[in-house]
Structure formats: structure tokens, C-alpha cells
Amino acid sequence: MNKIHVLILTAPGINCDEETLFAFSTFRHVSVDKLNLNQLKKRKSTLKITNLIIIPGGFSYGDYIYAGKIFATHLKKDFKKEIIDFLNHGRIIGICNGFQILVSSGLLPALNGYFSEQEVSLEQNNSKRFEDRWVKLKTNIPLSWGKHDKEYYLPVAHAEGKFYTNQKTITEILKRRLNVLSYFNPEGPVSYPFNPNGSLENIAGIIDKNHRIFGLMPHPERAFRKELSIDRNSFDGYKFIKNILESFNKEDM
């Protein structure tokens, strides 16, 4: 298998970068670099050899204004051309705060193009509190992102994870099957706490219309080893990441 080059992109307040680095660097065919936004300004050429950008969870810039907004503004202002060029060959994953950054920057779902006006939002949880719990998820992930299990059991940890948008946009997302990860209750209605935040259509993760960008609220890197899992027989975080990495092929390299 060809070497996959992963870039973990950080900023002040991001706090899941080390767990993400550990998880992805565990795989022998993966090389991982970690840069903050200021470092990337001086090393933009790094993007030319990168296959996958990951924006981890945390509270970038303290989530001032609202979650992910400042990071998203820097991304759009300083790296717009480079990111659009990168998406011709590479892909992006945003986890939790990373997901918030991607929607705030207009990179997801990008129905009107990358870095368009913001089309969806991740708002305050219906419970009005920080939700730190394990959730069951069902998948509708296209093969371009790997052959995934039908269900996963992963943790969430967020105060602003409620997926919300207008009727026209949610209709388009569902029509295009961009709602690739959903909160799930195998025994009945997907009410709280199975849907931990009140997301429309129980959405936990989406992809863009070109299938190059994936944003999700759950944290697979926090369930990467059985010792970290609520179910000691579960390796769902490991399986999730492994399935994504196995989706890379020569066309992505």
C-alpha cells in the first residue's frame, strides 16, 4: 500500500491533536505531520504532498464569537486558494470542533461551492449543557470513504453540536445522501439521549457534494483502543479510522 501523508492542523485551543496523531500514526503505511495555522503559512507547499488534512476537536481560539468561527475565518482568509487546489487530490476530515470549523468556513456541505456562504450550523445542544456520552451511530458512508460498518458506538463531547439549517438545504442534503452518519436507537425513537443534541434528521456527520470533505461530531480517536471504550470488546474508533485509510488508492496519492 502506498504511504498516506496526513496533516493534523491545529490552533490555540485545539486539544484532541495528540490523540488524533497517536491514532493515525499507529498505522505503518501512514506518516503524520502536525502544524498550526501560523506554521502552515510558511509551509504551504506541505499541502502538495498531503493526502488527508484532519482538523481535530477542542475549542479553537476559545470558541470566541461562536464555535470554530475564528479558525474558519483564518482558513478562508489565508488558505482559500491552497485548500481549493488541495481538494483536487486530497481530502479533509473535521472532528467535533473541526466539523464546526468546516461548516463555518463554507466548506461543508458546499452546495454552492467551497468557501461559499455558510449553509448549515452546529448550534447549542437542546439540553443547554455540554454532552459527554457514548452514542450509537448508523452509517450511509459512500465507498469513496471506505467500506464502513453499518453501525458504530463512539463518544461525543460538545456543547454546540445540534445540526440545523433551513428546509431547502436539509432537503438537498437528504436528496444527495450527504447525511452519512446519524444518531441511532436500535430499540425505538431517536430522542434524547440517543440524539444528544437535537440535530435535524439525527445528523451526526455529513460529506460535501463532491465527497472530498467529511465532518462529524463523534470522536473516533477517543475510542481507538479497547481500554478507552465503554464496551471493552469494541474497537469502533479503530475500525472507523482503519476503514477511512483503506479507502485511499492511487487516484488519491
* pLDDT tens digits, one per residue of 85-136: 999 999 999 999 999 999 999 999 999 999 999 999 999 999 999 999 999 9
pLDDT for the residue numbered 123: 96
Task: Select the more confidently predicted residue: 92 or 231.
Answer: 92
As a CATH number, domain 4-252 is 3.40.50.880
Alpha-carbon distance 60 to 74, whole Å?
Answer: 11
- Examine the pLDDT at 13 and tell me if it is beyond 60: yes
Which residue of the set 5, 19, 96, 131 is catalytic?
96
Q: What is the pLDDT of residue 235?
A: 83
Q: Which three cell numbers stand for residue 1?
A: 500500500
Is there a catalytic annotation at residue 148?
Answer: no
Give the percent of the chain with pLDDT over 70. Answer: 94
pLDDT in tens, 129-181: 999 999 999 999 999 999 999 999 999 999 999 999 999 999 999 999 999 99
Q: What is the mean pLDDT of the chain?
A: 93
Contacts of 108 (CB under 8 A, 6+ apart): 94, 99, 102, 120, 206, 207, 208, 213, 215
Q: What is the 3-state secondary structure (H, E, C) of 70-127?
A: HHHHHHHHHHHHHHHHHCCCCEEEEECHHHHHHHHHCCCCCCCCCCCCCCCEEECCCC
Q: Is 201 a catalytic residue?
A: no
Q: Judge whether residue 232 has pLDDT over 90.
A: no
Grid coordinates 450527504 are at which residue? Answer: 178
Average pLDDT for 214-219? 98
How far is it, in rounded angstroms, from Cα 126 to Cα 195? Answer: 10
Active-site residue, from 123, 131, 160, 221: 221
Active site residue 29: no
pLDDT interval class at 229 (50, 70, 90): low
* pTM for the model: 0.94
